[in-house]
A = this chain, B = another copy of it.
Amino acid sequence: MDLDPVIHAPVRLRIVTHLDTSLVDPDDEVTFPRLQRDLELTAGNLTTHLAKLEQAGYVATSKTFSGRKPVTYVRLTHEGRAAFHTYRSALLKLLGE
C-alpha cells in the first residue's frame, strides 16, 4: 500500500484536494492568483509544487493574456483526478475509515 509521494506531501495534498473539490468538471480551471489566495501560499511555494504536479501529469497549466497582462490557469488532469482518488481511498483505508 503505497501513498503516492507526489500527492502525499502536505502542500501538494492541499493543492490537489482543493482542485478536486473546487474544479468539478474536467475543463474547469482556476487562475494562479485565485488558487494562491484560496490556499494561502506564497507564489514561489505554489509554483514549486505545481511544477512537481505538472511533471507527474496531474495538473496542466496554460497561459493567456487578459489585455496585456499574462494570466496562468491551472487545471486538474484526468490522470491527476484518478491518482488522487486512488491515493484518497488508500489513505482512508489505512486510517480505518
Taking beta carbons and an 8 Å cutoff, which residues of A are in contact with B? 1-3, 5, 8, 10, 13-14, 17, 21, 88, 91-92, 94-97
Contacts and interface: CB of A to CB of B under 8 A. Distances in A.
A92 B97 contact: yes
Contact of A10 (B5, B88, B92, B95): B5
Q: Is the interface of A mostly helix, strand, loop or mixed?
A: helix
Contacts of A13: 3, 94
A15 to B, nearest CB: 11
A5 B95 CA distance: 16
B5 A8 contact: no
Nearest to A4: B10
Contact of A3 (B1, B3, B10, B95): B10
